[in-house]
Structure 1
């Protein structure tokens, strides 16, 4: 398995877990029917979108395997093996379909799928930023922009 796929799964794994814990076994019908509940947090929503993209690209056999993995993960939320099986299903799909992997990576970096965390005195965090200054008595001149 390529390092890029492993890294991508490390990044989207928590979103998938949030979607499974939020939606339970209804996750697949939501993935198939297509609309995420606007009241659900962005984490579960991104997990749902990732699963939706993977689901659409599967044949009947792939969908059956994915359905079983989702059901097991939803029905056994404390079972690391069940969660691991779901991740393996998605990893396999990403490994076999480079376009799917690019699509999932794009979802991860799309607005609404980004979390910016900062800490510390005068820390600045932003997804998109023009000019940011952190400090005492700072002056910005138009030529510095």
Structure 2
């Protein structure tokens, strides 16, 4: 398994969760209204932190990333801790890869359009939720 590539895929979600929750990312209960990226980042971190050996280094790196969110050195330190944890546990790496794959497959990048309708002046392409379109 390509651990650096896996960590590269995880980092945007992890940093989004850190940005949304700050230091509470380590303790905040799952928020049902959370954005999908934040939710995925939170689940990835929760899974990583289940292994006691991973916890101290990853938690310290998260705290630094929370305190200095724009500092690439702290993001790199977190990325290094993630690589270390995933290199040491191939089952964990495979589990997180599955989490990413299933989430990405169900995200906006994998949309399927069905039920399109064209009639008169109206065109309907698929369905959307939480979208309001008003005619002026």
TM-score, length-normalised on structure 1?
Answer: 0.70
Choose the corresponding residue for 2:17, options 19, 35, 48. 19
Q: How many residues are paired up?
A: 116
Distance of aligned partners of 1:46 and 1:96 in 2 relative to their CA distance in 1, 3 Å threshold: same
**CA apart distance, 1:54:** 0.6
**CA apart distance, 1:65:** 1.5
Structure with higher strand content = 2
**Residue 101 of structure 2 corresponds to which residue in structure 1?**
109
Q: Deviations over 1:15-66 (max 9, x none)?
A: 0110110010011113xxxx4211110001111111101100132xx31211
How far apart in 2 are the matches of 1:23 and 1:115?
A: 21
Choose the corresponding residue for 1:54, options 44, 48, 51. 48
Segment drifting more, 106-115 vs 4-13:
106-115
**Residue 86 of structure 1 corresponds to which residue in structure 2?**
78
**CA-based RMSD:** 2.4
Q: Secondary structure, in 3 states, of the residue corresponding to 1:110?
A: helix
How far apart in 2 are the matches of 1:111 and 1:7?
A: 17
**CA apart distance, 1:107:** 0.8
**CA apart distance, 1:111:** 4.3
TM-score, length-normalised on structure 2?
Answer: 0.75
Structure 2 unaligned segments of length 5 or more: list them.
116-136
